[in-house]
């Protein structure tokens, strides 16, 4: 991925989600540099896409899919594979079976209830700044950038 390809993705995303001023769309992203171009940010703003960039090394705590979807998906995929092997003794799962097994697992795991739970548990929606404790931020201390003289010095500083 690079900045140019990401802008192409944004255009595709806008075409298919059709955000508007009355109905903006939230796009949750990792913090990869390809998402941070001025062109991408301006395009998103002009087209009512709110980009939420997650801090590095935090997706296991703040990315809704990591928190609530991938675990159940992995379980359902494993169950689908087990079922297939039980119904096809002596045969190995090949590339031909994988799409069907993924479909079975995805249909069970990707529900509206699980999606909503992901946003709730990560504090994204409804917004909840208290879902994490000070200790949750401890691993990032080893890679923190030096603070400027006017930067907040406490993790509990509220963003308005």
DSSP 113-124: HHHHHHHHHTTT
Q: Is residue 150 domain-resident?
A: no
Exposure of 151 in the CB half-sphere (CA atoms within 13 A): 9
**pLDDT above 80 (res 45):** yes
Q: Is residue 141 domain-resident?
A: no
CB atoms within 10 A of CB 137: 14
Q: Give the separation between CA 64 and CA 55, rounded to whole angstroms.
A: 13
Report helix angle 98-109 to 70-87, nearest 10. Answer: 130
pLDDT at 22 (0 to 100): 97
Provide the number of structural domains found in the chain: 2
Structure tokens at 12: 């595709």
pTM for the complete prediction?
Answer: 0.65
**pLDDT above 90 (res 150):** no
The boundaries of the domain holding residue 106 are: 62-118
Percentage with pLDDT > 70 across the chain: 86
In a shared domain, residues 48 and 75: no
């Amino acid at each position: 991925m690079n900045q140019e390809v990401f802008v192409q993705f944004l255009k595709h995303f806008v075409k298919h989600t059709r955000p508007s001023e009355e109905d903006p769309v939230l796009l949750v992203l990792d913090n990869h540099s390809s998402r941070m171009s001025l062109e991408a940010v301006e395009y998103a703003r002009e087209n009512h896409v709110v980009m939420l960039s997650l801090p590095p090394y935090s997706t296991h705590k703040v990315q809704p899919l990591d928190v609530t979807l991938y675990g159940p998906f992995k379980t359902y995929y494993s169950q689908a594979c087990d079922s297939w092997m039980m119904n096809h003794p002596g045969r190995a799962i090949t590339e031909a079976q994988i799409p069907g097994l993924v479909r079975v697992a995805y249909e069970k795991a990707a529900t509206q209830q699980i999606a909503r739970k992901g946003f709730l548990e990560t504090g994204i929606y409804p917004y909840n700044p208290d879902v994490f404790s000070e200790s949750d931020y401890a691993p990032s201390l080893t890679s923190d950038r030096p603070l400027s003289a006017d930067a907040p010095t406490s993790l509990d500083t509220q963003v308005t």
